[in-house]
Structure 1
Amino acid sequence: MIIAVQAHSAQQFDQYRLGSGDVIKISVFGQQDLMVETKLSNIGVINYPFLGDINLVGLTANEVEALIDKGLRGDYLVNPSVSVTVVEYRPFFIDGAVNKPGGYPYQPALSVNKAAALAGGYTERANPSKVLIIRNISGVETELEATEIDIIFPGDIVTVKERFF
């Protein structure tokens, strides 16, 4: 099933879910020994002080904050103030009618047009108004129709189609 990308763009990024390849920083106010900066592996499990192994893939930053707050509250700290930030997003991938297809570091508010520029620009036969994005939405890989002005997300696979003349 192919659907339009604009319907999911704003809603999905407001609730950005962590995935393999994201670099996150977890800090607890006043507790330097509880600061962790790590890249999520393929399985998405990190070892956090006092809590052991926790799986973060599929969680939002707010959900991770709540999970760590709950684990530390009471036994270790009276009122922990936990902060989780995404330091570096997982890469996106672009192929099709671009000069240098491959994986590239994600940057917020990245449009298809900007992604193509990172990939060396469009080829002569590119049709920037015909783009296919494969995006993981709620654990399901979904094909989205897009144009050069649509926004992409970390982990997206962008395919720029060719024109036929």
Structure 2
Amino acid sequence: MTFLYKKGIDSMLRFLLVFCLVVTNVTEADVVDSYKLGPGDLISISVYGEDDLSLNVRIGSSGSISYPLLGDVWVLGLTTKQLEVKLVNGLKGPFLIDPSVTVSMLEYRPFYVNGEVKRPGSYSFHPGLTVDRAISIAGGFTERASKNKIFVERNGVSGTDERGESAKKSVSLKDAVMPGDVLTIEQSFF
């Protein structure tokens, strides 16, 4: 009887582990799909069968891109899927009958690390980045760094408060870092 009880608990633990892994993967995919474009992002726009309309472009500080046939197209704050729809709607009718547009990320805008790290500066973002990994990329903590006083400022597209201003909040080492984030590591008093 004890053997069957123990085997049931092992099965339940395996189920919970698999469930957590599935939920984690869905969450990461959702984050990538909901990522909002901003200045510094490099995107690829492909239009099937129309090489002249396919290009790689970096989004400038204006929040728009110059696109053939459509001129300046506002992309700031859009997801790649929303930009695809916008381009299809712009090209459909006067220029193409049924355009097939794909927008993909080539390079995310950088994130920044300030304060008590060995090499403060800007760094290339990669999906799945956490605060502890970002600090490692910046050379690790200095001797004076506080591991409990770490803040992130999400500017513009990634996060603002109710007044539209940058939101600065305390984070832990396991929290996610987003493109454009500014991490600040404060000094420890002891």
Structures share fold, TM-score greater than 0.5: yes
2:105 maps to amino acid: V
1:87-123 CA deviation, whole Å, 9 max, x = no partner? Answer: 1001111011100101111111111111111111111
Q: CA deviation at 1:12?
A: 5.9
Higher relative contact order (Cα pairs below 8 Å, separated by 6+ residues): 1
SS in 2 for 1:68: helix
Size of the alignment, in residue pairs? Answer: 157
Q: CA deviation at 1:55?
A: 1.6
1:164 — aligned with what?
189
| Higher strand residue share | 1
Q: CA deviation at 1:153?
A: 0.4
Pairwise CA RMSD: 1.8
1:70 — aligned with what?
89
Mapping for residues 1-165 of structure 1, pairs under 5 Å: 14-136=33-155, 137=159, 139-165=164-190
What percent of counterpart residues are identical?
A: 41
2:153 maps to amino acid: I
Structure 2: stretches of 5+ with no match in the other structure: 1-26
Q: CA deviation at 1:149?
A: 1.1
SS in 1 for 2:175: coil
Identify which range, 74-83 or 19-28, moves more after superposition.
74-83
Which is greater in Rg?
2
2:15 — aligned with what?
none
CA distance in 1, matches of 2:130, 2:118: 17
2:102 maps to amino acid: S
Q: CA deviation at 1:129?
A: 3.1
Report runs of 4+ in structure 1 exceeding 2 Å deviation: 9-14, 127-130
1:114-150 CA deviation, whole Å, 9 max, x = no partner? Answer: 1111111111122223210001315541112101111
1:160 maps to amino acid: I
Structure 1: stretches of 5+ with no match in the other structure: 1-8
TM-score, L = length of structure 1 = 0.88
CA distance in 1, matches of 2:138, 2:124: 11
Question: Residue 146 of structure 2 contacts residue 185 of structure 2 at CA under 8 Å; is this kept in 1?
Answer: yes
CA distance in 1, matches of 2:180, 2:52: 31
